[in-house]
Amino acid sequence: MVGIVFWALVVLATVTSLATAWALGANSNSPPFAPAIGANAISTMRAAFLVGILAALGALTQGGAISDTIGAGLINGVQITSLAATAGLLTATAFMAFGVYTGYPVPAAFATTGAMVGVGLSLGGDPAIETYRRIVLFWVLVPPVSGGLAYLTATVLRRDDIPETVGVPLLAAVVGGIIANVQLAVIPSPPDATQSSITGYISRLIETPTVVRVDPLVVLVTLVAAAVSFRFIRRRTQQSVDKGIRTFLVILGSVVAFSSGGSQVGLATGPLENLYGTELGLPGIVLLVLGATGILAGAWMGAPKLLQATSREYAKLGVRRSIAALVPGFIIAQLAIALGIPISFNNIIISGVIGGGLAGGSAGVSRRKIGVTIAFWLITLAASTAIGFGLYKAFSAVLGG
């Protein structure tokens, strides 16, 4: 009887995780391609296809860090059981579904983090105060950093003394340099690390002495990647400014969608880390494959409708403000993945849109809307914690823990 109940909970937790991943694939990973659709650089169906593939690849190659934080880093002293994982995932998914159907800006990272803290406390665990400080500090810094980077990006693109054949390739160079340093699980890494970057792998192959604790080969590879990116987009913009911008929008949308998959999949798989890793003894890649599958299905089945809607919004913003919003999104998402911090893409993109708008003299978003959004984020965090706590208590009372 105990075995039947255990496996029933395993199935329930797995299905709930898949549903959460599906919702993330349908909603959180779609906006990066909206500007490219709005600029007629790619069709909606092709964008939805690419969103699914890229987000799933990001989930497989970068999702481990966020998954570890959600599954084991939010609560001390206890392990998240299958019942607790189910309660947390149901709570988070309910909040996301509420946001989709009502139009309120429910951030998935806030809902999942709050829910898992709630069920962890309900299990009798202790708050991981140091982790909370890191996460909250990062969340607080996201709006000014994203908005500031977007403001600088939009300012560069609007300057008359910087032609678009220079400004857009410069941004491409920044993106290319960062891509060379992105941590990926598929790149061979040293024994004490789970992920490595292209620059890190090359620097280990060709050992060079450091200068002021900086590996000159890492710098060289980064500059080469930046130069190649600059040259490619510059040639496109010299042929046609519109063609160059559309090409950059597709590339930028691709890397942001990839980053989104890496940063979001952990919200669906993290609660199952203990169940799959400790209780079932399965390797971590199995859980990431589960999350990637859900994200892929969600993107292919649910993204087209959202892409059509959001592309109209981005078309109103214009290509420059769209680029200004996405560049910070890519940078901040990769930083969050490297630090293992769950993030909300809504938070990043909205802040970027506001920052890009300020460069033109108007943010394009009312103070009231900003206030409502922030208030709803805080309400989501507090309410998901309380509901996660109560839902696990109810489940354990009925099913016996």
Confidence of residue 367 (pLDDT cuts 50, 70, 90): low
Q: Given its phi and psi angles, is residue 318 left (phi above 0), alpha (psi -120 to 50 degrees) or beta?
A: left
Q: Give percent above pLDDT 70 in the chain.
A: 90
User: What confidence score (pLDDT) does residue 363 get?
Assistant: 47
Residues 17 and 142: their CA atoms lie apart, in Å, by 27
User: What confidence score (pLDDT) does residue 294 get?
Assistant: 92
Total number of residues shown for the chain: 401
Which among 223, 224, 222, 229 is positioned nearest to 173, based on CA atoms?
229
8 A C-beta contact, residue 366 and residue 95 = no
User: What confidence score (pLDDT) does residue 369 get?
Assistant: 66
Look at residue 184 and give its three-state secondary structure.
strand
User: What confidence score (pLDDT) does residue 58 get?
Assistant: 92
Q: What is the pLDDT of residues 163-187, one digit of tens each?
A: 888 889 999 999 999 999 998 888 8
Q: Give percent above pLDDT 90 in the chain.
A: 29
Residues 195-201: contacts with CB within 8 Å, 24+ apart?
A: 195/62, 195/64, 195/65, 198/225
Is the pLDDT assigned to residue 401 strictly greater than 60?
A: no
Q: What is the pLDDT of residues 34-85, one digit of tens each?
A: 777 777 778 888 888 888 899 999 999 988 889 899 988 899 988 888 889 9
The rounded Cα 383 to chain-centroid distance in angstroms is: 22
Alpha-carbon torsion (72, 77, 83, 87), positive or negative: negative
Which is more confidently placed, 118 or 143? 118
**Residues in CB range of 5: below 8 A, 6 or more apart:** 399
- What H or E segment, with its residue span, contains residue 71? none
Q: What is the pLDDT of residues 229-241, one digit of tens each?
A: 999 999 999 998 8
Q: What is the pLDDT of residues 196-223, one digit of tens each?
A: 788 888 888 887 777 777 788 889 999 9
User: What confidence score (pLDDT) does residue 47 get?
Assistant: 84
**Residues in CB range of 303: below 8 A, 6 or more apart:** 25, 26, 29, 30, 47, 48, 51, 52
The DSSP annotation for 168-179 comes to HHHHHHHHHHHH
Q: What is the pLDDT of residues 95-134, one digit of tens each?
A: 887 776 766 667 888 999 999 999 999 999 999 999 999 9
Residues 258 and 176: their CA atoms lie apart, in Å, by 14
Is the pLDDT assigned to residue 244 strictly greater than 50?
A: yes
The DSSP annotation for 120-167 comes to HHHTTPEE-HHHHHHHHHHHHHHHHHHHHHHHHHHHHHH-TTS-HHHH
Residues 309 and 318: their CA atoms lie apart, in Å, by 15
Confidence of residue 88 (pLDDT cuts 50, 70, 90): very high
**Residues in CB range of 374: below 8 A, 6 or more apart:** none
Beta bridge partners of residue 127, listed in sequence order:
75
User: What confidence score (pLDDT) does residue 162 get?
Assistant: 82
User: What confidence score (pLDDT) does residue 1 get?
Assistant: 47
**Residues in CB range of 188: below 8 A, 6 or more apart:** 196, 201
Alpha-carbon torsion (283, 290, 11, 108), positive or negative: positive
| Mean pLDDT score across all residues of the chain | 84
